[in-house]
Amino acid sequence: MNITGSCVNGILTLRFAGELDHHFAREALAALTERIDAFLPRVCVLDLRELTFMDSSGIALILRAEREMRTLRGKLILENVPEQPLRVLRAAGLQQMAEIRQ
């Protein structure tokens, strides 16, 4: 699991690569909250193009991101979601909580 990110004009983009499961969940959560705290963005984009696997640990992470962005009155966008993570998101009904851009 690897997370890289940049913030331009209030839009924080975080790119996730690899497998997101419970093993990496704590590290991923810390990376997410640390960057949101650092930049206080208007929009947070999670680019999942290179995410090769995600289980319900990803749901917890996205719910957290959504909560963090709500406290900033900002917006969460999920981008380039591969098929397997998308099925997990749909199973959890998360497609209603965040905008998904393919």
Partner 1 sequence: MKVNNEARVEFPGLSANEGFARSIAACFAAQLDPTLEELGDLKTAVSEAVTNCIVHAYPNEAGRVSLRLRILEGDVLEVRIRDWGTGILDVERAREPLFTTGGEERSGMGFSIMECFMDSLRVRSAPGKGTVVTMRKRISGKAGR
Q: Interface with partner 1 by CB under 8 A: which residues?
A: 19, 21-23, 25-26, 29, 53, 55-57, 59-61, 63-64, 83-84, 87-88, 91-92
Say which DSSP state 102 is in: -
Q: How far is the CB of 92 from partner 1 (least distance, A)?
A: 5
The full length of the chain comes to: 102
Query: What token pair was written down for 39?
Result: 């930049």
Q: How far is the CB of 67 from partner 1 (least distance, A)?
A: 10
**Torsion angle, CA of 91/96/97/99, rounded to 10 degrees?**
110
**CB closer to partner 1 out of 45 and 59:** 59
